[in-house]
Amino acid sequence: MKIKTHLLVSRLLLGVVAALAASFALCAQGGLLQIQSNPVSFGGLYWGNPTNWDNLHIPHFQSNPPGGGTADRSINFISVAHDNSYFYVRVNFNEAPPFNGSDFYMWLDTDLNPATGSRDFSGNGAIGSEFVINGAALIQNPSVWNFVGWLNWDQDPWTSGSLPRDVIFSIDRTSQLPFVKSFYLTYQLYNSGAGTTSDWYPESADTLTGDYFEYTTLEVTNPLPAASSAKYGQLIASAAPLAYYRLSETTPVTVDAATNSGSAGGSGNGAYTTGARHPVQGAIV
- Is the model's pLDDT at 32 over the cut of 50? yes
Strand partners, 34: 213
Q: Is the CB of residue 127 less than 8 Å from the CB of residue 186?
A: yes
Q: Output the average pLDDT for the chain.
A: 83
Helices (H), 149-267: 228-238
Give dist(CA 260, CA 267) in Å, integer.
8
pLDDT at 262: 84
The arrangement of secondary structure in 38-218, i.e. its CATH architecture, is Sandwich (2.60)
Q: What is the mean pLDDT of residues 161-171?
A: 97
Entry pTM: 0.70
Query: In the chain, where are the structural domains located?
Result: 38-218
Report CA-CA distances (Å) from 135 to 91, 198, 212, 217, 218.
12, 16, 20, 24, 27
Q: Is the CB of residue 229 less than 8 Å from the CB of residue 115?
A: no
- Cα angle, residue 63 at apex, residues 145 and 43 outer, rounded to 5°: 75
Length of the chain: 285
Segment 247-275, tens digit of pLDDT? 655 555 566 777 888 887 877 787 766 55
Q: Is the CB of residue 60 less than 8 Å from the CB of residue 195?
A: no
